[in-house]
Amino acid sequence: MAAVPYASPNIHPSRWVFVFILATVLLTACAQVPITGRQSLHLVPESELLSLSLQQYSDVLKKSQLSKDSRKVAEVRKVGNRIAKAAEAFLAETGNQAALKNYRWEFNLIEDEDNANAWVMPGGKAAVYTGILPYTLTETGLAVVLGHEVGHALAEHGNERMSQELLANMGGMALSTALTSQPQITQQLAMAAFGAGTSIGVLLPYSRLQESEADHIGLILMARAGYDPRVAISFWQRLNAAPGSRPPELLSTHPAPETRISNIKALLPQAMGYYRPAGK
């Protein structure tokens, strides 16, 4: 994953030690993304990331108004748990049983009609905002959203983004050290890295590659959960057509609409191979 720079004879020996250590760290901190097989950077220990995720999730729920609409809440939890079950089955089938211990799924619906968004933190703590429901329309439409967001969690994009931020803005500082020396900034970066940064006015963009990966994984997961993945096309078309000059947060850094739809259409044959309607 990491290439060692060309060895110039003019570089001081001490710098070579740093370069060697950095290259070694980058090479040994790679993880493979499920389904796509891409190598990604994971510098943050899973235990530290999960602990921070739980703390941040608790803070979000305390500051938010949870929906009291029992029907909508039940639907979010039903769809979320079916997607989560499909994700766990996939991990078990692919020899990643060890990763199962990291997930403690929880799905909540937050009352916020102006926020067309949803996210799943590392460890499976999830939130859906009521503002996305006019676009999902159906249980299957909701499965598109939660499949995509669980896809981010399964690919560990939160760890990857947090690792990138620690390297870029904190000199590669360890998460535990960053939390001690710069707690507020680090917690804000974590919230944004986990996709929940809109509540604090910060949102680290997922890369287009990460978004495409989440689309890919999400299609497979929703199909395995018994939801028709073809519905993803109409959902993204509705969201892309949302009124206003500012797109919904769920679209803030996503691929161009035409590119996304084209990519999804290309992935549908693979996803349909996993699709079995629920109850059949």
Q: Which residues are annotated as catalytic?
A: 149
Bridge pairing between strands 39-41 and 30-32: antiparallel
Distance CA 175, CA 193 (A): 13
Identify the CA nearest to 109 among candidates 124, 126, 123, 121.
Answer: 126
Counting Cβ atoms within 10 Å, is residue 8 exposed (0-12), middle (13-18) or buried (19+)?
exposed
The residues, ordered by sequence, that sit 6+ positions from 215 with a Cβ below 8 Å of its Cβ are 148, 151, 232, 260, 263, 264, 267
The first and second tokens of residue 145, run together, are 């959203």
C-alpha pair distances (Å), 188 with each of 14, 122, 176: 34, 15, 14
